[in-house]
Amino acid sequence: MSPAALPRAAAPLLGFGRLLRRYGFPIAPEQVSSFMQAVTLLGPRSMADIHEAALATLAPTPDRRDEFEAHFQSYFYGNAAALAEGDADEETRIKDDSGASDEETEVARREEGGELSSASEQLGSRDFRRNGDGLDAFRRKLAAALPARRSFRTMRTRSRGSLDLRRSLREIVSADGDIPSPLLRRRQTVPRKLLMLIDVSGSMKLYTADYLKLAHAVLQGADRAEVFTFGTRLTRITSGLRIRDRGQALARAAAQVDDWDGGTRMGLTLLAFLSVPRFSAFARGAAVVILSDALERGDHAELEMAMRRLSARAFRLSLATPLAGDPRFRPATAALRAILPLLDDLVDGSSLSGLADFILSLARTAPVAEAIWKRVS
């Protein structure tokens, strides 16, 4: 049933489900339908009935129950103070390619890149200018250089395959019992997905322009690639960067992302990514490359949890940090020490050409990050 065909009284219930999805709750359309049906069955006689129906059908996880209650109070009672108490740090928002921004705020930022790492949300915009950087060769080589996997689909082959019994029997029948050469099939080999997660916080402002150019080249050279940005929000920019003209693509991406050069909540935004089933499916069996300095403020438990879940899904999990461009760099922060055993690669992200070479090498085996950095230390 379309929203226009719904009874007028059902519109707030549908809106509440949309609100929860906007704030990263994994709410399926069937749950929203069940919520409205439960309210119908209960009467409802009071707001308590609507509250009980919401808890039973939308099923917030225990760790987000307080946040759910704050959103319920804010949405149905107009109690903004409850939302502020339930989420003092502001909840991470998720924005898909086609999603419209619910606020457009431009904040002037004057700090040099790397001088500020904050968890407070400050929104901003970016403008990218086109220049030459030698990414054309990278784009041409990418499809053949990506890691590959064996697909369950098969293709005909003349040798080194398994017998295609059905087609072979059909050929024998059509040839009146003569036995021709056996017909063979083998499983296809297809490139793995490539997922890029780009940190656009203030501490990364010197590098995000190059990272977006690299992401555009990736999407032009690989059929199965996805690109997200994260700072205080999570934004999928794949469709914008699919535009062939790089100037237009980067302008589209700049308009889609609201949190340029702001704070960072790396752990929370990665958990928000994993909480959306459609997004987390992008990481399954993929080569995941995170472009970030990983300067997580405060408790790093969320970051460690997110990286552990990403590592379990991904074929290869890599972190490229511009801090590693300094020869004196060591993964000495509490956050980096916690996630280092989960990483396959911890590499220098300060050079565009170096990053391009690293992505082209993802199919080659290498020692895990922990083993490499223990030798360096």
pLDDT in tens, 67-121: 888 888 888 887 655 554 544 444 566 777 654 433 333 333 333 334 334 444 5
CA neighbor of 28 nearest in space, from 323, 296, 312, 278 = 278
- Tell me: pLDDT of 1 over 60: no
Q: Which amino acid is at 107?
A: V
Q: Which amino acid is at 175?
A: A
Helix (H) or strand (E) holding 181: none
Q: Is 361 helix (H, G, I), strand (E, B) or coil?
A: coil
CA neighbor of 201 nearest in space, from 123, 270, 137 = 123
The sign one gets for the Cα dihedral 335, 338, 340, 342 is negative
Report the mean per-residue pLDDT for the chain.
Answer: 82
Distance CA 235, CA 197 (A): 10
- Tokens 């969320």 belong to 302
Query: Which tokens in the block code for residue 82?
Result: 């409850």
CA neighbor of 92 nearest in space, from 201, 241, 238, 15 = 201
Cα 41 to chain centroid, rounded: 38
- Best-predicted range by mean pLDDT among 59-63, 67-71, 74-78, 217-221? 217-221
Distance CA 330, CA 324 (A): 8
Query: Which tokens in the block code for residue 70?
Result: 């704050």
**Domain chopping of the chain, boundaries:** 3-87, 135-143+192-376, 152-189
Better pLDDT: 347 or 160: 347
- The pTM of this model reads 0.64
135-143+192-376 classified as CATH 3.90.79.10: no
- Contact between 195 and 283 under an 8 Å Cβ cutoff? The reply is yes
Q: What are the two backbone dihedrals, phi and then psi, of residue 218, each rounded to the nearest 5 degrees?
A: -60, -45
pLDDT in tens, 300-341: 899 999 999 999 999 999 999 999 998 899 998 889 999 999
44: preceding bond cis by omega (within 30 degrees):
yes
Better pLDDT: 91 or 270: 270
Beta strands in 237-354 (DSSP E): 287-291, 316-321, 345-348
Rounded mean pLDDT, 117-129: 50
Distance CA 325, CA 207 (A): 12
How many residues in the chain?
A: 377
Residue 181: the pLDDT is 74
Give the single-character DSSP code of 207.
Answer: T
Give the single-character DSSP code of 59.
Answer: -
Distance CA 91, CA 86 (A): 9
**DSSP letters along 71-103, please?**
HHHHHHH--HHHHHHHTTT-PPEEE-TTPPPS-
Residue 12: the pLDDT is 86
Distance CA 173, CA 167 (A): 10
- Tokens 């002037």 belong to 108
Distance CA 367, CA 377 (A): 15
- Pairing mode, if any, of strands 233-236 and 225-230? antiparallel
Distance CA 293, CA 325 (A): 11
Paired residues of 227 in beta bridges: 196
Distance CA 175, CA 178 (A): 5
* Burial status of residue 241 (CB atoms within 10 A of its CB: 0-12, 13-18, 19 or more): buried
Residue 349: the pLDDT is 94
- Pairing mode, if any, of strands 194-199 and 225-230? parallel
- Tell me: pLDDT of 368 over 50: yes
Paired residues of 186 in beta bridges: 155
Distance CA 141, CA 139 (A): 6
- Contact between 306 and 312 under an 8 Å Cβ cutoff? The reply is no
